[in-house]
Structure 1
Amino acid sequence: MERDDFFKALRESLVDSRTRFYRNLVFIEKKDYLDELRAVLSIYKDVVGGSRTAYAFHPWATGSKERLSNLRDLLGKFDDIDYSSSEYYLGKTYDLVVLDLVDNFQPNYIGRLVDLTSGGGLIVMYTDNLTENKIFRNSIARNGVVYNFYEERFRRKLKEHQGIFSIDTEYHVNRFVGEVKPTTEKKPLKSMFFPKELHDLCLTDEQDRVLEEFRILQRGGKRMLVITAPRGRGKSAVTGLGIAALIADSTRERVRVVITAPSLASASQIMEFAKRGLDVLKVPNEVEMSDLGIIRAVRGDHFSVVFVSPETAIGEDGDFLVVDEAAAIGINFLAQYANRWRKVVFVSTVYGYEGSGKAFLRYLRSVLEEKKAWTRWLTMSKPLRYAEGDPVEMWLYDALLLNPEPIRTGSLDSVEFLTLDKEKLFTDDNQLAQVYGILVIAHYRNNPDDLMIMGDGPHHILKGIRTEGGFISVTQISEEGNLPDSMIDLALKGGTFDGDLIPDRLLKHARIREIGKLKGWRIVRIATLPELQDKGFGSQLLRMVIEDAETQGIDWVGSSFMGDRKVLKFWVRNGFTPVHVSPKRNEKFGDFPVVVVKPISQISRKIMGIASHVFKEKLLNTIHDVYFNMTPEVAAILLEGSRAHSEIKLNKIHLAKIVAFLQGTSPYESSADGIHVLTLKYFWDGNRDWKLDEDLEKVLLAKVLQGMPWSYLNTVIGKGRTSSTEAIHEAVQILAKKYYNLDEESDIGISLDSLDDEFTTR
């Protein structure tokens, strides 16, 4: 197409989009991009005039500010967005969004910022070349090599979808000729419980409906409200209005609402609309702002709405807890919220740039069912920023694979194990959606960057089990180790580097230099179709991977993940040994990152055996300090998974105190030292072929080793002081009998002479 025809078509599409409320996108990949970029912006300015504009870039990159300066006369008044701070703009809406991709091409940022554009608006992305000298792409490289499978597919998707205009060596036009659902006025509610002033702030019938559902939180008992939607559906806004409604309608002397989210920026829309709702109801209030100008708290004479971090929210007191972007918070935190709070609102994006989807809903549903909490599930689907059927949204979901759906399988009579050809995979949309869909649907923590890493990383391998109907189980593997001496020295001195996660962690914590020389496979993800989970296919795939690793001279197979109870059990059950747990709990997810390893070569078995012993020693010696807030269930699985053994000896005074405790003549506090050593003996016993009941292990870990106050045990393990003491008594009774054949009838007579062989005095 000729240049003049291209810009004529763009002008006509911009006019049409403003009538039908859809968006257009221009992509420029050309060495001399500036003239084309200025021409696009000039046409937009001519058609639209003044507009809400955002310009995103890396301001610290060489030349980036100069590029922006060349466009200021065409941008007018605009928000300049540093990509690394782009989450702070998620609640805003723009007519024109310009993305500078010269220094970096990163899917996360594209997914996040394209969604900020309103109907009738334009997204412009420009770069000199999509694959050369890009920050994120360079971080994926291994030994200077990086593929471009992701970028080639991205370019192809730009040509396939309507509403997209692209410029490279030629001019490509694909005007939107499809249908959109016209925006319709809200239908008036036949009846409403909450004030009309709040409903007037709702833009859609869906928001009206969701707002009314907040009344269920005023009823007695434990009640949960779950609101999910793709990005841009108004769920955070209506949640803020719901908070205002609950406050205004409350008959209590004081109402306290606690809001938590991965960051204050994530909760900004809830805070903003809570205040807006209180204002229209004429409820006097004052706000507390953060340094970045985001509302941190809203307070009045009889209420407060405050933001706290996900970890802090567990121990907070209040009437209502609101969890925004719940899919980005660890299940461990969500479970504790459901256990600790009586009224909780979970709000989360499904699909969108987080890519969470059905997996998150499945995890959350299982948590709430386990807590036996009455729950109302609400979904929202109608976009607010643009019309239904918007072509840019269709392109975005396809290009970034935000909602991949794996194909349901047929017969399972014959299966084959294979390594996938990534080049072919990224040219076959059906197979890619199936493979990536299995990984996404089984893991709720996903983001668009994952797909690019999987495709472009030369050290990332895909293996799977396939039937006649398609793949049923898939794993993504990262090749690690075989490090040069310089990188080993760097790790031992505290330095960090991209990739090689497991060697890096073990070098720092086990301090054995040879670890860096071993060649390993780290399982980044392993997943099975949901309907076939818990049927052994994941374990079967893992066994096949290990057999494959043996034939290829790999020293170890391992994995690193957040220490979720269910996931950890899977790895331990399959013979993997815990060798490292981060000394810091992940503040965002609420779990401790864990490393597990299955050694293959002889030298690896020796090294990992030492690493396992070092790990177990650290965990047991510091569980009252470094790991004091580790979930006892997780600690129990970690200790069970490490078969490292050490003889722990109790002296006669310890044994006498234990017998006195069993007899009831000595309270727990008086016998705690003896019980502590007996508990250590149990967990250090790597030779036993028996184990205590899980509930007994949990109380021993929580009280005896972690030293939790009696009052805290109810929150952590669901047992009060009386039931916890009874459980400790039962556990001590079993251990004393197993190890020393002692019970409450035993008589340990102690004299000075009988202690000569155990104690020496000066």
Structure 2
Amino acid sequence: MVLSGSHPWCLTHAIAAIADIDDTLWISNTSGHGNTTHFKPGQTQQLLGTEGNAVIIDAHSGFNPNALGAASGIIRAGGLLILLCPPLDNWHRHNDPEYSAILSHGCAPEDIQGHFLSRIARLIKASIHTITVEEGLPVPSLPVYETSTTDTWPDTDNLCRTDDQRKAVEAILRVATGHRRRPLVITADRGRGKSASLGIAAAQLLQQGIGPLLVTAPQPEAVTSLFDQATKLLPDADIRRHRIQHNETTLHFVAPDDLAQNPQEAALVMVDEAAAIPAPLLSKLLKQHARIVFSSTIHGYEGSGRGFAIRFRETLDQTTPKWRHLTLDTPIRWANGDPVEALTFQLLQLNASPSPDAMIKDSANGLGSIVKLSQAQLAKDEALLNELFGLLVTAHYQTTPRDLQMLMDSPDLSIYVLFRGSHIAGTVLSVKEGGLCKTLAQAIWLGERRLRGHLIPQSLANHAGIAKAAELTGERIMRIAIHPALRRLGLGKQLLETVITECQRKNRDFIASSFGATPALLNFWQISGLTPLRLGSTRDTASGEHSALVMLSLSEAASRIHTLARKRFIQQLPILMSDSLRDIEPSLAAALLSETSHSSAMEHDRLTEQDWLDSISFAYSNRTYDGCVLAIEKMLLKALRTKPAHIAPEILTLLVRKVLQKYSWQEVANQCQLSGEKAVVAQLRRGVRHLIELHLSECPTPVREKLHPLLNRQPI
């Protein structure tokens, strides 16, 4: 039901509508009313695993699309969803408090054109799934929907309520008891019983004495349904919060980052809501555990399971090629064709999808065209919006409905689309940043102000310590996505070149981006001329990686700042690698330090006679590591900057972990699978010999002649 009118009128009729309904949730930025449970829109993650008979969303206090997505999935069959909103024809003019989430400093609510809310209102008015009541018109009686109960479901095995669920339980049991290294991926829309399937399977395994069992998810609340189901089937078990013990076996929850960092023995690991967990964590769990099940929502406000399945498939194929995929289609919490689910999917584009692979490949023979779309164009063309948002969902599997609102309404957003025929092959989203006044720039530099948005200028001013950077005006690439069937064809680079040209035309000072850093992604940006100027000290919650900031200067002022920021980054990174960045991968360190352009001489580029003496005497004789470490570090940093591709991966790992990240001898031995300190030292000498060979042509002739006897000796 949609109640459209003044706020007092909406409240009066909403309270009347739920008078005889218990277990009602009220979602509002203000407060709840009557005998309801109140949640603020930003608390939607707490709704995971909960159920209710009715939900009221007060859009007068702010319309949060993620909250609608969360609320729609918790309503039981026969329940009621009530949306309170301003008059539909004027809703887009409403000064929505939730606009602050998509506004950067310098933009005002008046700058938002209201395309997102206009579209929502239009779809509501045309929907056959809603009862829309406008102020001044009579309120009709609500129809009574038959509620599905367990008695109406086929008795598949006295536990599972659908055949889909029975197959899922059997598949989970097979992972735990069958061949190792054959993980299972379960995907389903919400309300299909995937979490309950995990709970049923867990209970059966505990009854068979198989354990311990571990379950992980983005938040403990996400596995409430799993534990509830297992508890019902194990009435004699010792039940505690997120832990069940049955006889000698246990089922308990472990946070994903804790499980990845501190592996535990388990007969089976179950990962629920996997799409909301960073991909690197999932990959680590996959490699650590021989028996593991991943479960994810396909169309969810908390992250897209479709994107998860596509992007994670590559990792599964490489690591465990015999993995299986199972989809649950039949709903349990409500009936097929449920009106709330149908409307929510339509409003929030939860079923958005890119062009089918065959269709986009058929149109891929031409050169294609790159077009800059307006938000007004997207608002008027539902098919175009569906295809574009579907591509973004597929490429970035933590895309949420809030991102749809940002796409349609965020001021200063530029949308570039690469068409092949009439279909979208790729897209880039960029946003204008910077141009801040000197006073604000100084306050940001000193850490006294933190503005919404303007990520690149603020990071350079505060973290890199260059206040003037906040006064520059540039573009930040927020998203770049290429159709899965057309990747690795150079289309991303083609799109990026177009954006760079457009930025030059608009006299921007720079173009930049920030993303979860991997060697492959850094290589993509560096090929287009954007070099890394910063690496975040903590891992990003979305990507699971440290965020890298890359930049290409387009003006003389930006070039000066770029040169300074790059030099300071190269100076500071080796220091941070023994502190806050001690966990980054050696291959990432090499990618960050390597120079492709903007090269500037660094202190460690100049090897002194003593550096050569120390390095060679360590590599070819029996000098101690501690006595030669300064020279070894300088030689390693020089190699990483100028010749990283010439260092074999196993040598790179050994050298970076010990020399730069200061791992203990035992830590290095464990990581490099060596027997102990003596074996590590032997491999270090071998690694330093390789570095010497890389740089020997640069060694001054008098020094080389002096060292000639050592170089001709057989290594000890």
In the alignment, what sits opposite 2:557?
603
- Name the CA shift for 1:656/1:705 in 2 (closer, same or farther; >3 Å): same
Aligned counterpart in structure 2 of residue 699 of structure 1, from 654, 657, 660: 654
TM-aligned CA distance change 1:256 to 1:676, over 3 Å:
farther
Query: In structure 2, the residue corresponding to 1:426 is in which secondary structure?
Result: helix
Residue of structure 1 equivalent to 2:433: 480
Q: Is the 8 A contact 1:257 1:306 kept in 2?
A: yes
Instruction: Give the match for residue 587 of structure 2.
Output: 633
Structure 2: 5+ residue stretches without partners? 712-716
1:689 Cα deviation after fit? 9.1
- Structure 2 CA distance for partners of 1:341 and 1:610, relative to 1, 3 Å: same
Deviation at 1:212, TM superposition (A): 1.4
Q: Which amino acid aligns with 2:286?
A: A
Shift of 1:176: 12
Shift of residue 56, structure 1, vs aligned partner: 1.4
Structure 1 residues 33-52: aligned runs within 5 Å:
33-39=7-13, 41-43=15-17, 45=19, 49-52=20-23
Which residue, out of 318, 321, 331, partners 1:370?
A: 318
Q: CA deviation at 1:635?
A: 2.2
Name the CA distance, whole Å, in 2 between partners of 1:576 and 1:226.
Answer: 37
- How far apart, in 1, do the equivalents of 2:540 and 2:28 lie? 29
Q: CA deviation at 1:200?
A: 3.2
- Name the counterpart of 2:243: 297
Question: Equivalent residue for 1:318?
Answer: 265
Partner of 1:562: 516
Deviation at 1:543, TM superposition (A): 0.5
Bigger shift: 624-633 or 443-452? 624-633
Question: The residue matched to 2:234 in structure 1 has which SS?
Answer: helix
Aligned partner of 2:54 in structure 1 is 96
2:253 alignment partner in structure 1: 307
Deviation at 1:500, TM superposition (A): 0.7
> Structure 2: how far apart are the matches of 1:526 and 1:467?
16
- Distance in structure 2 (CA, Å) of the matches to 1:460 and 1:236: 38
Distance 1:458 1:640, change over 3 A: same
Number of equivalenced pairs: 682
* C-alpha displacement of 1:431: 1.1
Q: Measure the CA separation in 2 of the matches of 1:356 and 1:229.
A: 11
Q: Could you tell me the TM-score, scaled by structure 2's length?
A: 0.87
Indicate the SS of the match to 2:50: coil
CA 1:675 to 1:508, structure 2 compared with 1: closer, same or farther past 3 Å? same
Map 1:473-552 to 2 at 5 A.
Answer: 473-494=426-447, 495-552=449-506
Against the structure 1 CA distance between its residues 363 and 727, is the aligned structure 2 distance closer, same or farther, given a 3 Å change threshold?
farther
- The equivalent residue for 1:676 is 633
For residues 546 and 510 of structure 2, the distance between their equivalents in structure 1, rounded to whole angstroms, comes to: 22
- The answer as to whether partners of 1:180 and 1:387 remain within 8 angstroms in 2 is no
Q: What letter is aligned with 1:82? A: K
The answer to whether 1:261 aligns with 2:235 is no
SS of residue matched to 1:384: coil
- Matched residues in 1 for 2:566 and 2:44: separation? 41
Equivalent residue, structure 1, for 2:603: 647
Cα deviations across residues 457-496 of structure 1 (Å, max 9, x unaligned)? 1211101222322221111111101112343233223221
**CA 1:703–1:383: 2 relative to 1, 3 Å:** farther
The match for 1:53 is: 24
When residues 727 and 391 of structure 1 are mapped into structure 2, their CA distance, relative to the original with a 3 A threshold, is farther
Query: 1:679 & 1:276 partners in 2: Cα distance?
Result: 60
Note closer, same or farther for the CA distance 1:560–1:677 as it changes in structure 2 (3 Å cut): same
**1:463 pairs with 395, 409, 416, which one?**
416
- Cα distance, 1:238 vs structure 2: 1.4
1:124-175 deviation digits (Å, cap 9, x = unpaired): 1113464533222134345322220111001111112212122346759999
Q: Which runs of 5+ in 1 are unaligned?
A: 1-25, 59-63, 190-198, 288-294, 750-762
Letter in 2 for 1:262: P
Residue number in structure 2 paired with 1:356: 304
Distance 2:233 2:164 in 1: 17
Q: Deviations along 1:329-367, whole A, 9 cap, x unmatched?
A: 111111111222222221211212134143211221211
Q: 1:150 to 1:309 in 2, by over 3 A?
A: same
Q: State the Cα deviation string for residues 525-571 of structure 1 (Å, max 9, x = none).
A: 01111111110111001011101111110111111112244333321
Q: For the residues of structure 1 that align with 2:45 and 2:239, how far apart are their CA atoms? A: 25
Aligned to 1:732: 688
What residue identity is the alignment partner of 2:619? L
User: By how many angstroms is 1:658 displaced?
Assistant: 3.6
Instruction: Name the residue aligned to 2:181.
Output: 222
Is the 2:202–2:230 contact (alpha carbons within 8 Å) kept by the matching residues of 1? yes
Structure 2 residue identity aligned to 1:537: L
3-state SS in 2 of match to 1:535:
coil
Residue 173 of structure 2 aligns to which amino acid in structure 1? Answer: R
Residue 82 of structure 1 and its aligned partner are, at CA, apart by 2.8
Does the alignment pair 1:341 with 2:289?
yes
Percent of residue pairs bearing the same amino acid type: 25
Secondary structure of 2:709 counterpart: coil
- Which residues in structure 2 correspond to 1:153-232 (within 5 Å)? 153-168=119-134, 185-188=152-155, 200-216=158-174, 217-232=176-191
Deviation for aligned residue 1:627: 0.2
In structure 1, C-alpha distance between the alignment counterparts of 2:167 and 2:142, rounded to whole Å: 32
Shift of 1:40: 5.1
Contact 2:165 2:193 (8 Å CA) reproduced:
yes
In structure 1, distance between residues paired with 2:673 and 2:475: 39
1:730/1:541 CA distance change after superposition, 3 Å: farther
Determine if contact 1:181/1:388 at 8 Å carries over to the other structure.
Answer: no
Kindly indicate whether the alpha-carbon contact (under 8 Å) linking 2:57 and 2:82 is maintained by their aligned counterparts in 1.
Answer: yes
Distance 1:514 1:654, change over 3 A: closer
Give me the TM-score of the superposition, normalised by structure 1. Answer: 0.82
Within a 5 Å distance, the mapping from 1:17-36 to structure 2 comes to: 26-31=1-6, 33-36=7-10
Find the counterpart in structure 2 of residue 290 from structure 1. Answer: none
CA distance in structure 1 between the aligned counterparts of 2:345 and 2:502, rounded to whole angstroms: 35
Match in the other structure for 1:757: none
Partner of 2:714: none
Shift of 1:619: 1.3
- Determine if contact 1:659/1:746 at 8 Å carries over to the other structure: no
- Checking the alignment, whether the CA contact within 8 Å between 1:233 and 1:380 is kept in structure 2 is yes
2:367 paired with 1:419: no
Q: Distance between the aligned counterparts of 2:674 and 2:187, measured in 1?
A: 33
| Root-mean-square deviation (Å) | 3.2
Query: Structure 1 pair 544/158, CA: closer, same or farther in 2 (3 Å)?
Result: same
The alpha-carbon deviation at position 656 of structure 1 amounts to: 4.5
Going from structure 1 to structure 2, the CA distance change for 1:387 and 1:485 (only over 3 Å counts) comes to same
Deviations 1:299-330 (A, max 9, x none): 45523333333221112212132222211111
